Structure 1
């Protein structure tokens, strides 16, 4: 409609926010297009329109699209503007004596513009304040940081004064020395030469002393400046990154606000199927305040020096299970992941501090595998344990066990999606006895907290068992996943019994940016028979570190504490061991710890990651083994993860149906639990194939395999299995 007086019809821009002649109204509030530069006098401005772009401040007003390139009917400085609403479609912008009445096409469009204007106004105010106050919106420094900075600046000022004083003295004494030398040249009487030469020597000595003081002061100043300049550069870089992240977060939140408003007026296909909600009283937060901390103390610092650099590098990885052709053809691909867009922050922003298992999550953030299958995936490099069986030395065997403990993390580097939480009583078997000599069984033995028991037997000479409880907390910007529980590995012939625990996994960039995973902490592997130990340190990623990302280092020692091997590598690529031939104490580090220098033979590759299959980026970054884990298989128990319907629907790309099915399964599980707990003699859930016993090694109560599963499979007698699907 045409405007009257100073009234303008307020037209929302299309997406992308560039006007075209078909949709430009005769009277509109014009925005600079995305490709147009803001005039120099307004260079501090940006743009945010209701689609998420930043508005210019001051705001430019144009009556037609054609005027935008050459005419401006008026401007309002948003930093001092008052934004008000007259009715469901009108907005009033006022600044001093100027008032503009703007009209949107609908109440929804009006609210979107009000939100965008308010965000732009807030940013304009911050930018204005930055011009008068350099502190801006940066995070305030702590008192200790301020005190340290003040002390450093005071020291530098003192050194500068020393330099200035020395400079004046050098100039003064230099001039006096020059006069003395001139007088010496004009001498004619030898009798006076002695006196003058003496004066020259005195002045030269004084000049030399002053020059030395000047040099020392310069050296002190430079040392101090170099030491702190690096720290200030890192601090400045950190503050810049924080500011950029904050701006991106605000922009992201503005977009999500608009999306939520649209969703409220027209529910999308996912919302129409119903999001998975917990039953009343289901998501208890009794442990919401519980904090978990990893043992992050520094491992003993050491330096490795190769004793024989000319020797050829030997690899223990020359023959792998890849060389053994499986007797059964397994699938090599799954359906490509659909391109569903759903923001993780929109789901998790109200769940900060809660257990991940208590957050109602749609399958959109899952991968089509259960946690039981992910636990089984740790066996991808089982051939390391087959080789360890053949080691005659217990310390050499420890190297293979350490490499195996690291190899289980290699599959996580690109796997940012979460696995399905198993239902109580859910099982998963992986029978590779004929192909690779082992078979594995997992069972979900607890729901809150979620815990899975795992048992693996290999006819090639080893048995592995564990009970893993996943403790996870969403902390706002990142998600911490802490596997609790010990992993046991026993070799049949030697009786060597190894025990270790997993490190913390952290998912970063939950709010904004690309998700990425890091592993950090320490693993101590102990051979309870020989008392050998291996201390592995997973170095957390640091933007400023010069170390190789995802670095893992460690030392293998015997019962007497003597070091035999150095372990080095990365958790996503490979691990090597180097035999130590001599060790000595080196220099003391800046933290006061004495470094140990190990002289070693050339490193030998123990483990190297297999390349991902072709098209892995469209198949959830699954490895060759992971692609086979959910492959349908006959004769498995009716509780097997392969038979879980919501997971099967998700793998086939039918995500909306999978979300409905996931909600049905979880509600069925709650109903069974309520009936079970209503029984008078109920004493807690009893697993099917595992039983609780005290672990003699750790003293913990854990679930161990009691037998019967494989016999039941041979007979196809699954009568004790519950109906969980």
Structure 2
């Protein structure tokens, strides 16, 4: 490795050069090319990367710079970013420290000026249009000119007074001079006269210069305004160009990602998997994409010994037949589904629709809306319907039932471990609808409901109700004639982080099977929406799910691997292990959350050798051949013009007679958006939200007048709103305070009586 070059300062405030940066404990310090410009410190692996790939940037305005020793120094930005750097010598380190401190001071001053200029604007106000901004700035220029003119008038007045008093002073001095005083007194009088004359000339020159400056300012003000407008238009063009470049960059990323996956699938046939050292050179550099080194599986699966496959050779391909023969070869009970004849589906009451109006192509400047929303809760941001899809969050919850047949099969299983496999596949299947669904569902109004009656077609009935507005919470209850019940209360916590949006569903999902009274619970993982500002939106799911059977103690641990540029593994990967109450593994699950899941029966397990990461050991499972347990349904034709809705999603907002007046199908702004009338939908959405706020204020006034505080036992404040079809109680399994269906909805529908429903639309 060649010696680092001395930092250079080619122009202005730009400062660049080679510095050693700490990467990780394996590779230690690595040489990186750093560039300091406009208060930002960025770095690259090489100088050639400056044109296309920045490895990281830190804003010096809020950063702290500390010196460790003769050559080392640390730059930290509030804990979110920390660079441990080392210069080649103490002189070079001092040059960098001097440049960084100077850049930090300038950046802090610029930020303070920017903050001062923005104090008059409310953070909750929508951003002004370009014309309004230009008018405001023109008004500021005119005000400044008027102020300047008044000051010049003040100077003119002073000039007149100076001239008046100066003339009087000169006359007095002339009179003194006419006395023909001799000696020292005469010299003093002549000296004072000369100084008075010089003072009057200088004062006149100053006033004339101020008057000329005012004339020039008035003459050039229009030219300045035109130049300012031209700069503003240039900025808009640059923003549009940046967006186009980001889209092209995203397209190239996707192409590269597809090629990498193809190579990974080819490599997986010849090798056991990528080595850890090949994963990434930068482990902590990118906050948006996760560390590829963490994506190594926690276990390894290998084919079981031939003795376990004695009868496998005669089996036909397919889940049921293979599982049955393999289970019987182990003298264990076969899967219940292998003993059944195909189920007879009931004829549906009506033909469901297969299309909705195509999505209009409306342009919108996303940054103009989102730039003032960074760090806020998504539910508190007033968003136009341009970012929505014509469906509510209650309907999105109902979409979890698209693969309800997995629960139907689980209800018929005799083995709790087999049942756990189906429940785990069901928990993964609910994410398959999100891979292309970048639109935001409508936030339900308080008291809004949604029913999904598929009893004749699929044997289940589903009911959702928005039971809380802040925080937004929806209760969901499903009961099936085929032996299972599903219930959940989901509260969504979300944060906009500038480059991406994190959505964290809070709440527990319960599945209860009546045949054996098995009760399962699990939670949802985090959803991340990337490329919020520029580029093509894409969604990732990451985190871990623990599914617990509270009746038997069986558990399933699922891991959703986050996407990484540097991983050679398949994208959107999900892995899991089904274990009994004693921790013994019985099944291994693997697949992707957007395509399919497979399971393999575990024959033997053993602890492998150290995998090289902090002495951890992987478990090696010997398994039978993997069998498919779930596969995603194909999207309908033309889905790309219909918000990428699935066949079930296309029917969710279909008009239906007999539903409650609070049903999401009756929501006018959502219906207008589905019909393509987005401007009217935005107007209607604002009306509904203001109506909801008015009702809430009235409810709070009534509660205050009655001096009844909606204070819970734990001291937390809650809205006094009472749900219609759900009641709040403590869950005996999890100990959480949740809303559970209290009954009455379907009976009210049969009677056609909805007296207790509020007027929310």
Normalising by the smaller structure, the TM-score range is 0.5 to 0.7
Contact 1:367 1:620 in 2 (8 A): yes
1:259 deviates by 11
The partner residue of 1:435 within 442, 457, 460 is 457
CA RMSD of aligned residues (A): 3.3
Rounded Cα–Cα distance in structure 2 between residues aligned with 1:447 and 1:240: 47
Per the alignment, residue 304 of structure 1 pairs with 301
Per the alignment, residue 314 of structure 1 pairs with 318
Partner SS for 2:414: coil
Contact 1:321 1:436 in 2 (8 A): no
The partner residue of 1:687 within 709, 715, 723 is 723
Rounded Cα–Cα distance in structure 2 between residues aligned with 1:438 and 1:475: 39
Matched ranges for 1:251-650 at <5 A: 260-261=129-130, 301-307=298-304, 308=309, 312-315=316-319, 326-591=348-613, 592-650=615-673
1:346 deviates by 2.1
Aligned length: 479
Rounded Cα–Cα distance in structure 2 between residues aligned with 1:664 and 1:321: 48
Structure 1 residue 666 and structure 2 residue 670: aligned? no
Per the alignment, residue 748 of structure 2 pairs with 712
Contact 1:321 1:383 in 2 (8 A): no
Partner SS for 1:133: strand
Matched ranges for 1:221-236 at <5 A: none
Structure 1 residue 243 and structure 2 residue 265: aligned? no
Per the alignment, residue 186 of structure 1 pairs with none
Indicate how the Cα distance of structure 1 residues 299 and 636 shifts in structure 2: closer, same or farther if over 3 A, else same.
farther
Rounded Cα–Cα distance in structure 1 between residues aligned with 2:294 and 2:303: 27
Per the alignment, residue 166 of structure 1 pairs with none
Per the alignment, residue 116 of structure 2 pairs with none
Contact 1:639 1:724 in 2 (8 A): yes
Indicate how the Cα distance of structure 1 residues 623 and 239 shifts in structure 2: closer, same or farther if over 3 A, else same.
farther
Partner SS for 2:634: coil
Indicate how the Cα distance of structure 1 residues 265 and 245 shifts in structure 2: closer, same or farther if over 3 A, else same.
farther
Contact 1:299 1:535 in 2 (8 A): no
Indicate how the Cα distance of structure 1 residues 497 and 652 shifts in structure 2: closer, same or farther if over 3 A, else same.
same
Rounded Cα–Cα distance in structure 2 between residues aligned with 1:133 and 1:300: 40
Per the alignment, residue 254 of structure 1 pairs with none
1:297 deviates by 9.0
Contact 1:429 1:636 in 2 (8 A): yes
Long gaps (5+) in structure 2: 1-7, 32-42, 58-126, 136-289, 321-336, 711-719
Contact 2:9 2:16 in 1 (8 A): no
Matched ranges for 1:197-212 at <5 A: none
1:604 deviates by 1.3
| CA deviation map 1:390-431 (0-9, x unaligned) | 111100100000000000000000000100000000000000
1:243 deviates by 3.1
1:145 deviates by 3.9
1:237 deviates by 10
1:345 deviates by 2.4
Rounded Cα–Cα distance in structure 1 between residues aligned with 2:387 and 2:10: 37
Contact 2:346 2:456 in 1 (8 A): no
Contact 1:302 1:595 in 2 (8 A): yes
| CA deviation map 1:136-157 (0-9, x unaligned) | xxxx876x4499877678xxxx
| CA deviation map 1:9-51 (0-9, x unaligned) | xxxxxxxxxxxxxxxxxxxxxxxxxxxxxxxxxxxxxxxxxxx
| CA deviation map 1:506-537 (0-9, x unaligned) | 00011221100000000000000000000000
Contact 2:44 2:54 in 1 (8 A): no
Contact 1:234 1:544 in 2 (8 A): no
TM-score between the two structures when normalised by the length of structure 1: 0.62
Contact 2:44 2:56 in 1 (8 A): no
Rounded Cα–Cα distance in structure 1 between residues aligned with 2:416 and 2:410: 9
Rounded Cα–Cα distance in structure 1 between residues aligned with 2:620 and 2:349: 49
Indicate how the Cα distance of structure 1 residues 685 and 131 shifts in structure 2: closer, same or farther if over 3 A, else same.
closer
Long gaps (5+) in structure 1: 1-124, 154-231, 247-257, 267-293
Indicate how the Cα distance of structure 1 residues 127 and 370 shifts in structure 2: closer, same or farther if over 3 A, else same.
farther
| CA deviation map 1:204-257 (0-9, x unaligned) | xxxxxxxxxxxxxxxxxxxxxxxxxxxx999999987653999xxxxxxxxxxx
Per the alignment, residue 133 of structure 1 pairs with 16
Indicate how the Cα distance of structure 1 residues 626 and 504 shifts in structure 2: closer, same or farther if over 3 A, else same.
same
Indicate how the Cα distance of structure 1 residues 241 and 461 shifts in structure 2: closer, same or farther if over 3 A, else same.
farther
Rounded Cα–Cα distance in structure 2 between residues aligned with 1:478 and 1:546: 23
1:588 deviates by 1.1
1:593 deviates by 1.2
1:320 deviates by 9.5
Rounded Cα–Cα distance in structure 2 between residues aligned with 1:569 and 1:354: 35
TM-score between the two structures when normalised by the length of structure 2: 0.59
Rounded Cα–Cα distance in structure 1 between residues aligned with 2:400 and 2:47: 41
1:348 deviates by 1.1
Indicate how the Cα distance of structure 1 residues 374 and 604 shifts in structure 2: closer, same or farther if over 3 A, else same.
same
Rounded Cα–Cα distance in structure 2 between residues aligned with 1:372 and 1:617: 22
Indicate how the Cα distance of structure 1 residues 126 and 487 shifts in structure 2: closer, same or farther if over 3 A, else same.
farther
- Deviation larger for 593-602 or 486-495: 593-602
Rounded Cα–Cα distance in structure 2 between residues aligned with 1:562 and 1:146: 35
Rounded Cα–Cα distance in structure 1 between residues aligned with 2:17 and 2:44: 17
Rounded Cα–Cα distance in structure 2 between residues aligned with 1:516 and 1:486: 26
Rounded Cα–Cα distance in structure 2 between residues aligned with 1:528 and 1:559: 10
Per the alignment, residue 59 of structure 1 pairs with none
Indicate how the Cα distance of structure 1 residues 530 and 141 shifts in structure 2: closer, same or farther if over 3 A, else same.
farther
1:321 deviates by 9.3
Indicate how the Cα distance of structure 1 residues 234 and 126 shifts in structure 2: closer, same or farther if over 3 A, else same.
closer
Indicate how the Cα distance of structure 1 residues 235 and 604 shifts in structure 2: closer, same or farther if over 3 A, else same.
farther
Contact 2:20 2:29 in 1 (8 A): no
Rounded Cα–Cα distance in structure 2 between residues aligned with 1:597 and 1:147: 27
Contact 1:312 1:602 in 2 (8 A): no
Partner SS for 2:750: helix
Contact 1:306 1:600 in 2 (8 A): yes
Rounded Cα–Cα distance in structure 2 between residues aligned with 1:603 and 1:239: 46
Per the alignment, residue 758 of structure 2 pairs with 722
| CA deviation map 1:148-201 (0-9, x unaligned) | 877678xxxxxxxxxxxxxxxxxxxxxxxxxxxxxxxxxxxxxxxxxxxxxxxx
Structure 1 residue 676 and structure 2 residue 699: aligned? yes
Partner SS for 2:319: coil
Contact 2:558 2:577 in 1 (8 A): yes
Rounded Cα–Cα distance in structure 2 between residues aligned with 1:548 and 1:338: 34
Structure 1 residue 701 and structure 2 residue 737: aligned? yes
Partner SS for 2:457: helix
Partner SS for 1:243: coil
